[in-house]
Structures are given as C-alpha cells and as structure tokens.
Amino acid sequence: MSLLELRNVEARYGPVRALHGVSLNVGEGEFVAVLGANGAGKTTTLRAVSGTVRRNGDVRLGGKKLRTPEGAARAGVAHVPEGRGTFAELSVWENLRLGSYTRRGSTKEDVQRVFALFPVLDRRRDQQAGTLSGGEQQMLALGRALMARPRLLLLDEPSLGLAPLIVKEIFDVLAKLNRDEGTAVLVVEQNANLALAAAARAYVLEVGRVVVDGPSDELRANESVRRSYLGY
C-alpha cells in the first residue's frame, strides 16, 4: 500500500472543474514529480492532497482519509504552496515555530536542523519574513515544512522565480531529505528537466487528467512524450 493514494479525485473552483478524476500514488520515501503545462491542474492536485480545495474522490495518507487542511497537517503532510505562503509580518523564527505547530515537546533540535541546512535563515532569524529575498523565502517555506517532520512533503513549483544556484541548493536539500530521512516528496514543476532529474517517477497532467506516467528515465527517453508534454 502506498503512502499517498489519490483515486478518481475531482476538484473545482466554483463552477469550473479543474481535475477530472485524477488517480496517482506516492510510495513511502518516494520522490515523485507532477508535470504539465500551465493550467493543467498541477497546483490543484497538491491542493487536493492538503485539502485546500473543494474535491471529491478518495485521498488517503497511510490508508486514512484526509479531509481538512488541519487534519492533513496533523497526519504528516507539509504543503509548501505556490507563492511560498510565508507569514510576512512574522519573524523568520516565528515562521519556523509555526511549522512545528502540530508537534508536541521541544522543537529546538528541529530549528537547529533547519539552520544547518539553510544558514542564511539563522543569520536572519529575527527579521520579518517579508523582508527576505525570494530565494530566502523559499528556503524559509521549505524550512517551515521540515519543522513538522512530515511523512509527505508537497512542493508547488519550488524553482519559480529563483536563480539557478539557489534552485540547485534547494533540490540538493530535497534529495538529501529523501535519501537520509525517507521523507516522501511530491513536487510540482514546470521545469520538467529539473524535476525528472530529481524524481524517481513522474505523472504528466493535461487539462485535469493524467495522460502519461512512469519512471523518470522512461519518460525522458520517450521522445514523443518529451515533445508533446514536456516541451523539449
């Protein structure tokens, strides 16, 4: 049984249907990518997992149904949304502290861990999050997600608007987490090349449906898939 299972999930924004019966799964400790063009439903898929969009269908983590965003967070899902979702008026340290909201006990270790991964956050720990640069905010958002010691990490376009060096840094951290701690990762990316290099498997969405999926190597090798869906 997979860690994350989506079965026939439909989602809509008001009258507009964004997902038409999407099914996918992520195994324990797996690194999976969701690809596709703009408007394909990638962001909506992540929202369906964290419960921040109206949806029907089956969404299960470790066999248990996920209903509300709070419930998903408690079950071990950490969602880094598009736009980072940082609390701009709160300090870096307060942002991180909120990340571990669902955990009891001392979180000193977790904060140290995040500071070790992203030393710049340590230097700016008392600064207002809104004053950080784009790259630093992405690190903060990721750091906040890690504070929860999640079973599943959801990332929405982590590379968006960032310099290539910072993107590399972030994906290195993701790979490390996935490798060393067994955190499952579901990442949405427009940069298909980058995603396929990091992920073991990928799903390609088009107009709210899964059109192709499989191991990254296969997708990359398949020229027609590359041309039609991955844009290169």
Name residues whose C-beta falls within 8 Å of residue 212's C-beta, 6 or more positions apart in sequence.
Answer: 203, 204, 219, 225, 229
- Amino acid letter, residue 93: W
Candidates 35, 61, 92, 148: give the one binding other proteins (CB under 8 A).
148
Only segment of 12-20, 55-63, 97-105, 177-185 that touches other proteins (CB under 8 A): 97-105
Q: Check binding of 220 to other proteins (CB under 8 A).
A: no
Site string (62-81) toward other proteins, x via CB under 8 A: ------xxx--xx---xx-x
Sign for the CA dihedral angle at 52, 163, 198, 34 comes to: positive
**Size of interface with other proteins, in residues (CB under 8 A):** 24
Which of 6-14, 15-23, 87-95, 162-170 is the region at the interface with other proteins (rule: CB under 8 A)? Answer: 87-95
Judge contact between 158 and 10, C-beta under 8 A. no
Give ∠ CA 23-79-73 in degrees, rounded to 5: 95
Of 23 and 102, which has the nearer Cβ to other proteins? 102
d(CA 59, CA 72): 10
* Cα–Cα distances in angstroms (integers) from residue 10 to residues 78, 96, 104, 212, in the given order: 21, 33, 34, 18
**Crossing angle (nearest 10°) for helices 92-99 and 134-147:** 30
Among 2, 28, 37, 102, indicate the residue that binds other proteins (CB under 8 A). 102
Nearer Cβ to other proteins, position 146 or 196? 146
Regarding 99 and contact with other proteins (CB under 8 A), the answer is: yes
Q: Which run of H or E residues covers position 164? A: helix 164-180
Considering the complex, state which of residue 86 and residue 216 has its C-beta at the smaller distance from other proteins: 86
Name the one range near other proteins by CB under 8 A: 89-97, 117-125, 183-191, 223-231: 89-97
Enumerate residues 117-146 that contact other proteins by CB under 8 A.
Answer: 144
Q: Which residues bind other proteins (CB under 8 A)?
A: 50, 52, 68-70, 73-74, 78-79, 81, 85-90, 94, 97-99, 101-102, 144, 148
